[in-house]
Structure 1
Amino acid sequence: MARPIWTGTLSFGLLNIPIRLMSAERRTDLHFRMLDQRSNTPIRYERVNADTGDEVPWKDIVKAFEYQKGNYVVLEEGDIKSAASDSHETVEIDTFVDADQILPAYYEKPYVLVPAKKAEKGYVLLRETLKKTGKAGIARVVIRTREYLAAVIPQEAALMLIILRYQAEMVDVNEYALPEKGVAEYRIAPKELQMAQDLIQSMSGKWQPADYRDEFRDKLRKVIEKRLKSKGVTAAVDDTDERTPENATTNVVDFMALLRKSLDTRQRTPAAKKAVVKKAVTKKTAAKKVAKVAAKKKPAKKTAARRKAG
């Protein structure tokens, strides 16, 4: 069984759901090694100094940012860690949006959120609520050494965490020369449009992802197997059993109370802020009054202090 990337919590409001973050993709690429054709010996890549050509050991390698051509600023590991979020191993949803508002181009990489033992109630509560409302939870999550923007969406019995691209990573389509005018400007007749619609309708069907395979990979694998058989070679597949650690918790949680408290907290927040501001203004006004009284009582000292400061 696959190992979790990390074990932590999924939280929204005051609800915390213990989960395991699992990969939702399986790489099926065929990996090739580069060989020296004279001896079929693998070619090794080395880290070498660009000036001397000498190999550089890992212990002497540091990370740096090139701010100008040929000019670098070296960063320590602490510098990089300090930029990371403190919310490691937490998927904290801070807002909910209509799921259909997220354009497909923003979706990057899928993960599965698996509930820990005895955490099913909160998991199902969030999953079913997202299904009924058509919402997606927008969160930030740290995976390994980088913070990502992510969407939490329901898919059948699962809660999926989809890594999203930031807007700054997207190319604005208006940067390209695109045909933006109406269909009449491109001499497309209404009959042609109707025929195209009829063709699409005749080719339409249900989305069945299992019907599609990487045919190039399948054919290439057959070529490799044929080569192996011609040499009398058999390959063994290492099927290692990987155990998934469990994150024990309790399922006896008063979800109604937590939900009410979360809602009440959000409703009372503006009033609380106003009270703080009012209190701060009152203190500031009182301080000004005290300062005026003190100034009236000791004018000589205040004048002397101003001369000294000047």
Structure 2
Amino acid sequence: MARPIWTGTLSFGLLNVPVSLMSGERSVDLHFRMLDSRSNTPVRYERVNAETGEEVPWKEIVKAFEYQKGSYVVLEPEDIKSAASEGREAVEVKAFVEADSIGVEYYEKPYVLVPGKKAEKGYVLLRETLKRTGKVGIARVVIRTREYLSAVMPRGHALILMLLRYPQELVDVDDYKIPQGAATEYRISPKEIDMAEQLIASMSDEWKPEDYRDEFRDRLRKVIEKRMKSKGVVTPPAEDEADMPENAATNVVDFMALLQQSLASKKRTPAKSSAAKPTRKTAAKKKAAPKKKTPAKKTAKRAPARKAG
């Protein structure tokens, strides 16, 4: 059983539903290793200092931003964490929009939201309401250290969290030379359009994803099998399923009262399970802030200068 990426809450209005964030995709790529053709031994990628040519151990490697050619500012792990949202392990819905108002170019990566113990009622309530209204929830979610924009939408019996691209990540199609105007401007006759419509009608079918396979991968696997002199299957040890904490939203919560309060106040509260964590993190940030302001300016130099032996 796959491990959850995190266990936290899905919140909308004053309702908090314990959930686990699970991956919604699996990798089926065939992975290759680079070998030395002279001896068929694996080739390693090493972390090498650009000036000395010496290998650099992981403990000596830091992250830096190159703000101009050859000049860097070094960032500590705490600096990156401080930029992340305080609402970790939570999907807090900020608004509901029409499902068809989001262009397909915004959709990026799927995850599955799995309800926690005794949290089925709140989960089903949101799922069925989204189905009836044709809406999707727009939320922010932190996965590992990065914050993403996302859409919460019903899919069958499940709630899917789909990562969305920000507008800044998309290329404006006007940057490319795209033919504009009516079909007549390109000497396309009504008869040609009719014939094209007939062709599309003759090729029309229902969308059945199971009918499609990665044929390149299948053919490549056959090539690999022909090359193999021996076969072996390695089965990884079973992973323990993470326990889901029982918290705020269970099947005995007075959902009607929470819904009425949400409508009356029109306020959205952060997930209860994450309320305690930000308090400690915020206090830690305030204590650490004075120490980082002065060093941050001094580190605006070349990264190699940090290496002291």
Q: Same fold (TM over 0.5)?
A: yes
* SS of residue in 1 equivalent to 2:205: coil
- Which of 234, 239, 244 pairs up with 1:242? 239
C-alpha offsets along residues 32-69 of structure 1, whole Å, 9 cap, x if unaligned?
Answer: 00000111000001001111111111111111111111
* 2:187 aligned partner: 187
Q: CA offset at residue 117 of structure 1? A: 1.4
* SS of residue in 1 equivalent to 2:125: helix
- Spell out the pairing of 1:200-239 with structure 2 (5 A cutoff): 200-228=200-228, 231=229, 233-239=230-236
* In structure 1, distance between residues paired with 2:232 and 2:187: 59
* SS of residue in 2 equivalent to 1:88: coil
* In structure 1, distance between residues paired with 2:82 and 2:242: 29
- Spell out the pairing of 1:1-310 with structure 2 (5 A cutoff): 1-228=1-228, 231=229, 233-249=230-246, 250-266=250-266
* 1:270 aligned partner: none
Greater share of residues in helix: 1
Residues paired across the two proteins, number: 264
Q: Percent identity?
A: 69
TM-score calculated relative to the size of structure 2: 0.84
* SS of residue in 1 equivalent to 2:131: helix
* SS of residue in 2 equivalent to 1:7: strand
Once the two structures are overlaid, the 10-residue window that deviates more, 98-107 or 247-256, is 247-256
Q: CA offset at residue 227 of structure 1? A: 1.6
* In structure 2, distance between residues paired with 1:82 and 1:26: 31
Q: CA offset at residue 246 of structure 1? A: 2.9
Bigger RCO of structures 1 and 2 (CA < 8 A, at least 6 apart): 2
* In structure 1, distance between residues paired with 2:160 and 2:183: 39
* In structure 1, distance between residues paired with 2:182 and 2:256: 53
In structure 2, stretches of 5+ residues that fail to align are: 268-309
C-alpha offsets along residues 241-294 of structure 1, whole Å, 9 cap, x if unaligned?
Answer: 223223142421000000000000029xxxxxxxxxxxxxxxxxxxxxxxxxxx
Q: CA offset at residue 239 of structure 1? A: 4.4
Q: CA offset at residue 222 of structure 1? A: 1.3
Amino acid at match of 1:146: R
Amino acid at match of 1:235: G
* In structure 2, distance between residues paired with 1:42 and 1:247: 42
CA contact under 8 A between 1:117 and 1:246: conserved in structure 2?
Answer: no
* 1:291 aligned partner: none
Amino acid at match of 2:139: A
C-alpha offsets along residues 206-248 of structure 1, whole Å, 9 cap, x if unaligned?
Answer: 00000000011011111111222xx2x1211314322322314
CA contact under 8 A between 1:118 and 1:248: conserved in structure 2?
Answer: no
TM-score calculated relative to the size of structure 1: 0.84
Once the two structures are overlaid, the 10-residue window that deviates more, 145-154 or 245-254, is 245-254
